[in-house]
Amino acid sequence: MSDPGTVYEFTFRGLLAEEALDRAGRPSRVGTGMFDADIAQQLSLDVLDDDHVQAAKQMASVYVAVAAFETSVREMVTNILREAVGDDWWESCVSSPIRTQCKNRQEDEAKHKFHTQRGEAPISYTDLKQLGNIIRANWTHFEDFLPSAEWATAIFDAIERPRNVIMHSGTLSPPDIARIGTNLRDWIVQVGT
């Protein structure tokens, strides 16, 4: 099973089998325990279209993986640059356009005091493309952790497209989900958790 095509075929068939079992009425492993009953009631999940809720539940696992990945990348960038440059790393290592865009996003969110904010640190307001640009601009600090800035950017690009589908209520195909999993595993093997 060392042939990449064989591995992909095996993985894809497994995903198709899982999907067939779900369609045949297997209790959803994704939904089980994922939603607190009180929260589900507050959100009125019971009055929404069942097909839409089930599709969203399936994508919820993908969202969890992508959100955890993004958070870990922000944390890694912060830790590496803080260690290398000091506490003022944001001002000295991040380009003015990225800092300005993040500041604008942060200020816009601050206008809505009734709503939870993304975070206190400006890096919380970056997207994956900006994180790739930060890594590229400060490559000497990352070269011991990543094979190349291009590799990191390719991982970010491969995850960002399906991420955007999920964030806009879309449903990913099994190959899209498998591709995310492959990229996440590659990242974790390279960087760690």
| Residue ranges per structural domain of the chain | 51-191
Q: Which of 130, 74, 63, 80 is nearest to 101 (CA)?
A: 130
Mean pLDDT of the chain: 87
| Cα Rg of the chain (Å, integer) | 19
Residue 1: is its pLDDT beyond 70? Answer: no
Q: Element (H or E) spanning 97, and its range?
A: helix 96-110
Tokens of 154: 């390719």
pLDDT tens per residue, range 139-177:
999 999 999 999 999 999 999 999 999 999 999 999 999
Q: What is the pLDDT of residue 24?
A: 74
pTM of this prediction? 0.77
Q: Which residues contact 159 (CB under 8 A, 6 or more apart)?
A: 66, 69, 128, 180, 183, 184
pLDDT tens per residue, range 95-144:
999 999 999 999 999 999 899 888 889 999 999 999 999 999 999 999 99
For residue 27, name the pLDDT band (cuts at 50, 70, 90): low
Please tell me whether residue 33 adopts helix, strand or coil conformation. coil
Residue 30: is its pLDDT beyond 60? Answer: no
